[in-house]
Amino acid sequence: MYFNKEKAFLCSQPADTIRKPYQIATHTAKVNHSSMFQYNGCQYSVPPEYVGKNVSLQIYDGYIHVYYSTYFITIHMISKKKLNYHNEHYTAIARKSHAFKDENIADRAKKILKR
C-alpha cells in the first residue's frame, strides 16, 4: 500500500559513470609462507596467523586495506619497494620462525626496515 503511494516520488539510480568513482574495488590475494601477500609486483606483510589464507584487499586513497572475511587486519601505504613490512608483523614472523633465537628481534627489525 505505502509502496504504491511512494513509488511516484522515487527516482532511478544515477548512471554508472556517476556511481563508478564511489565504488571500492575488492581484490583477493593469498598470504604466502613468509606472511606476505602480493599486489602490483610488491609484497606486503600481515600477521603470521594468516599464512595460507586468502585476504581481501580494498585499494583507495593510496592505501591497501587488508581484511580477512569482514575482520580488518592492517593497512599499508602503496609503495614501489619490493618488500613492505610493519614492525610488529616482522617481529611476529621472526619469533614464529625461531631463526633468530639469540638475536634481539626488535633490534634486527629496526636494522632491516631502515633499508
pLDDT band at 71 (very low <50, low <70, confident <90, very high): very high
Whole-number Å distance between alpha carbons of 113 and 85: 7
pLDDT band at 98 (very low <50, low <70, confident <90, very high): low
pLDDT band at 25 (very low <50, low <70, confident <90, very high): confident
**Domain ranges across the chain:** 25-113
Cross-strand pairs, 102: none
Residue length, the chain? 115
pTM: 0.70
User: 101 pLDDT exceeds 60?
Assistant: no
Half-sphere exposure of 12 (CA within 13 A, CB side): 4
Q: Over the chain, what is the mean pLDDT? A: 85
